[in-house]
C-alpha cells in the first residue's frame, strides 16, 4: 500500500542494474517512448531477478501510459536496433534487454533494420537454455541469427510501418510476412520497401477507389512492387539519405517531414 506522505524506499523493493549498463542507456539516444519501454522491460525482468519475461503490449502500455500502437512501434524499433531481444515465451513473446550495449544500433529505425538484414546484427533472443549456458554479463561474442530469422524481423517491422502510416491493423501472419521476405530476397532494401509504402500512402490514402489497395497483397506483390519501385526514381539522395515522397515531402531517419521541413505527426 502506498501513502501520499511517504517516499519510496529500496527496502520496499528495488531493481538491480549495473552502473555501466545504465550509463550506456543514458548515452544511447532513446526517444521518450523507447526509454519508457526499455525501463518497463528492465522492471519486469531485472526487477524480479530474471533475464527475460513474457511481457505483452498491454502490460507495457499500462506501465508506461503509452498507447499500444506506439508501444508496438517502439518495441519493434528497439528489437531491430538490438537493444531488446524477443523469443517465444510460455504464453506469448518473451522480452529481455541485450546487455551487450556495443551491439546497439540506434541511428534511425529504418537504418537499423537495414543493418540487421545486411550485416547480421543480433535482433532476437536465443532460447532460454542457450542463455543459461552461454550468456556472460558484458562479454562474449555477438549472437548471430539465421538470415531467414533476420528477414522475418525486418518484415514484421515493415508491416508495423504500414499499419502506422495507414492506420490499418494488418497482422504479422505468414501470408503477409512471406510477401515482404520475397521482396527482400530479390535484393530490395528495407528503405526501398518503406519508401514504396510512403509513396503509395501519399497517392492513395483517403481515395475511395484506391485506398483499399494499401494492403500487403497489393503493395508487396512481386509484379506490382517492381513497378512501384521503378516510379520512385532516385529514392535515396546520397548526400543526406533523404527519401523523396513527392510534393516536397521526404523521409529521413525513419521520420516523415513536410514541404516546410517540419516533422509530421503520424496518429
| pLDDT per position as a tens digit, 211-234 | 899 999 999 999 999 888 888 754
CATH number for the domain whose boundaries are 15-145: 1.10.10.10
pLDDT value, residue 159? 93
C-alpha 115, offset from chain centre: 13
Mean pLDDT over 154-160 rounds to 92
Using the structure block, give the residue that is written with the C-alpha cell 542457450: 130
Which residue in 165, 172, 128 sits closest to 251, CA to CA?
165
Q: Does position 112 have pLDDT exceeding 60, yes or no? A: no
Interatomic CA distance for residues 181 and 39, integer angstroms: 32
Mean pLDDT over 192-204 rounds to 90
pLDDT value, residue 146? 52
Cell numbers linked to 46: 531485472
C-beta neighbour count of 239 within 10 angstroms: 6
Q: How far apart, in Å, do the first and last CA atoms of the chain sit?
A: 37
Interatomic CA distance for residues 235 and 74, integer angstroms: 25
Which residue in 159, 165, 214, 163 sits closest to 184, CA to CA?
159
Domain spans, the chain = 15-145, 148-267
C-beta neighbour count of 24 within 10 angstroms: 17
Interatomic CA distance for residues 214 and 205, integer angstroms: 8
Mean pLDDT over 130-154 rounds to 54
Mean pLDDT over 173-182 rounds to 92
Among 125-134, 156-165, 186-195, the least confident range? 125-134
Using the structure block, give the residue that is written with the C-alpha cell 533476420: 150
C-beta neighbour count of 252 within 10 angstroms: 15
- Which of the two residues, 62 and 106, has the higher pLDDT score? 62
Interatomic CA distance for residues 231 and 226, integer angstroms: 9
- Would you call 94 helix, strand, or coil by DSSP? strand
Bridge-based pairing state of the strands 255-257 and 243-246: unpaired
**Length of the chain (residues):** 267
Instruction: Give the number of C-alpha atoms closer than 13 A to the C-alpha of residue 46, restricted to the C-beta side.
Output: 17
Mean pLDDT over 171-189 rounds to 89
Question: To the nearest whole percent, how much of the chain has pLDDT over 90?
Answer: 24
Which residue in 78, 77, 36, 90 sits closest to 59, CA to CA?
36
Q: Does position 110 have pLDDT exceeding 80, yes or no? A: no
Using the structure block, give the residue that is written with the C-alpha cell 483499399: 212
Amino acid at each position: 500500500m502506498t501513502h501520499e506522505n511517504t517516499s519510496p524506499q529500496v527496502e520496499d523493493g528495488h531493481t538491480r542494474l549495473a552502473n555501466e549498463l545504465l550509463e550506456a542507456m543514458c548515452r544511447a539516444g532513446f526517444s521518450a517512448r523507447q526509454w519508457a519501454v526499455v525501463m518497463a522491460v528492465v522492471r519486469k525482468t531485472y526487477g524480479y531477478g530474471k533475464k527475460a519475461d513474457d511481457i505483452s503490449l498491454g502490460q507495457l502500455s499500462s506501465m508506461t501510459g503509452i498507447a499500444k500502437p506506439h508501444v508496438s512501434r517502439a518495441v519493434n524499433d528497439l528489437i531491430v536496433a538490438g537493444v531488446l531481444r524477443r523469443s517465444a515465451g510460455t504464453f506469448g513473446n518473451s522480452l529481455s534487454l541485450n546487455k551487450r550495449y556495443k551491439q546497439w544500433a540506434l541511428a534511425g529505425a529504418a537504418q537499423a533494420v537495414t543493418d540487421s538484414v545486411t550485416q547480421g546484427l543480433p535482433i532476437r533472443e536465443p532460447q532460454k537454455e542457450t542463455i543459461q549456458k552461454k550468456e556472460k554479463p558484458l562479454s562474449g561474442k555477438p549472437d548471430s541469427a539465421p538470415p531467414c530469422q533476420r528477414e522475418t524481423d525486418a518484415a514484421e517491422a515493415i508491416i508495423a510501418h504500414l499499419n502506422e502510416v495507414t492506420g490499418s491493423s494488418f497482422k504479422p501472419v505468414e501470408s503477409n510476412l512471406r510477401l515482404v521476405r520475397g521482396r527482400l530476397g530479390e535484393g530490395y532494401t528495407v528503405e526501398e520497401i518503406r519508401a514504396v509504402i510512403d509513396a503509395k500512402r501519399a497517392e492513395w490514402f483517403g481515395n475511395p477507389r484506391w485506398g483499399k489497395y494499401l494492403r500487403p497483397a497489393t503493395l508487396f506483390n512481386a509484379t506490382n512492387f517492381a513497378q512501384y519501385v521503378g516510379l520512385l526514381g532516385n529514392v535515396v539522395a546520397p548526400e543526406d539519405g533523404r527519401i523523396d515522397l513527392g510534393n516536397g515531402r521526404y523521409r529521413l531517419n525513419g521520420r516523415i517531414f513536410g514541404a516546410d521541413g517540419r516533422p509530421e505527426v503520424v496518429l
